[in-house]
Structure 1
Amino acid sequence: MTLSASLRNALAPTGTLRASLNLGNPVLVNRTDSGEPGGVSVDLARELASRLGVPVAFTEFDRAAESVETVTNEGADIGFFAIDPLRGAGIAFSAAYVLIEGCYLVRNESPLTRHEDVDREGNRILVGKGSAYDLFLTREIRHAQIVRTALSQTVVDDFLRDDLEVAAGVRQQLEADAARTPGLRLLDGRFMVIEQAMGLSKRRGDEAANYLREFVEDAKRSGFVADALARHGIQGASVAPAAQV
């Protein structure tokens, strides 16, 4: 797509590409030794800004819901989100660029062994409020109780503190927490695949949304996303397939 002045203005109206980051997703965003943000999402934002010929600035949030709200209301130009129909009311998504697994964690002595066992009366599932898996489980869970905590990063600590039955989250975060905390295990498999995409406010118009979609497809096709995953040592996440046109 030709980058016209009107298109550049729709994507970066201030002359700087303002990218919103969710620090609650360690698969895609982390802090470098210098304290600056790094990761796959940061690499994509820098590459997009380079193609637009503008500088990039980052706004960081601890919760996905805050990042979604900021982009929806145009406090930032782009963001990195799990695709979800509720968020889609105000966000125009690209296709997914990375697939991430959502998993359950329990104590070793828990009788739960299968994902099918979780949705039963008496089980309490702790999730990060407003996260992709919170939105998904809110739609899907019929019998268990969903308990929400403010930050995805503290799900396991809060799960242990409050003596709950199940913690839900991104596989990599749960695996890291289980490694530092004896007596915990992940249930085999996954309860959802999180489709991680880029997005912007629908107020920016179809031309800007289409440019972002084409950018993501090119980043997958060219190997940019795969190289970024490898460069940052990300395990357990995969490059999403090409979008069906």
Structure 2
Amino acid sequence: MSEYLETPAGRRIAFQRSNGRGPGVVFLGGFKSDMTGTKAAWLHDWARQQNRAFLRFDYSGHGDSSGSFEEGCMGDWFEDARHVIEALTDGPQVLVGSSMGGWIALLVARALPQRVAGLVTIAAAPDFTEQGFWAGFSDAQRQTLTRTGRIELPSEYSDKPYVITRHLIEDGRRHLVMTQPLHLPFPVRMLQGTADADVPADWAVRLLDHAAGDDIRLTLVKGADHRFSSPECLALIGQSIGDVLA
């Protein structure tokens, strides 16, 4: 059953948490996903079996939280995550960031390093609004976006298209992590499938090269796709969290 937290910006954020020992685990979901997804639900059960505190939530415009997805942007979703972590957890947490959640986890780590015990990323998509969407748009698409403020892209995960807004792109440029130093002074485990059609495996290699830290490892899983939700992939997520906690 979801509970709700009001942010300073007036957004109503849906969350679910379970008590347990610390450091707790916080799951940060992906673009247009919610906390009922396979990985979030699996982690909820995993944390309960481990007697580990766990928190999952929906960004504004996602799932049961307030707001419109199309009006949202990285700055809003980062603020949502930061406020949820500060208000609902105690002490350092292990952040588990999937896809866009990997980018948000890196933003949280940069802003609140004292509240991060470790980081596990799953197909992390740092700066995807720029190096994914904008870089992949044709000149005609860029002109349409600039002129009308929005563009629709087909989604393989839904019948409805993705609506990408100019606001999303422009705000994303204010939150880039691959264009400036990225210090991660805690254990980091990055997981990436080689058959991921949404986040190329070379993004993971570039993030590994770019980030500075004494304990950062990347695991490539041959044949795994962007969902990274097979039993073997889910087990690897749990193993990676355990590795960070150890």
TM-score > 0.5, shorter chain as reference:
no
Larger RCO (CA within 8 A; separation ≥ 6): 1
TM-score normalized by structure 1? 0.36
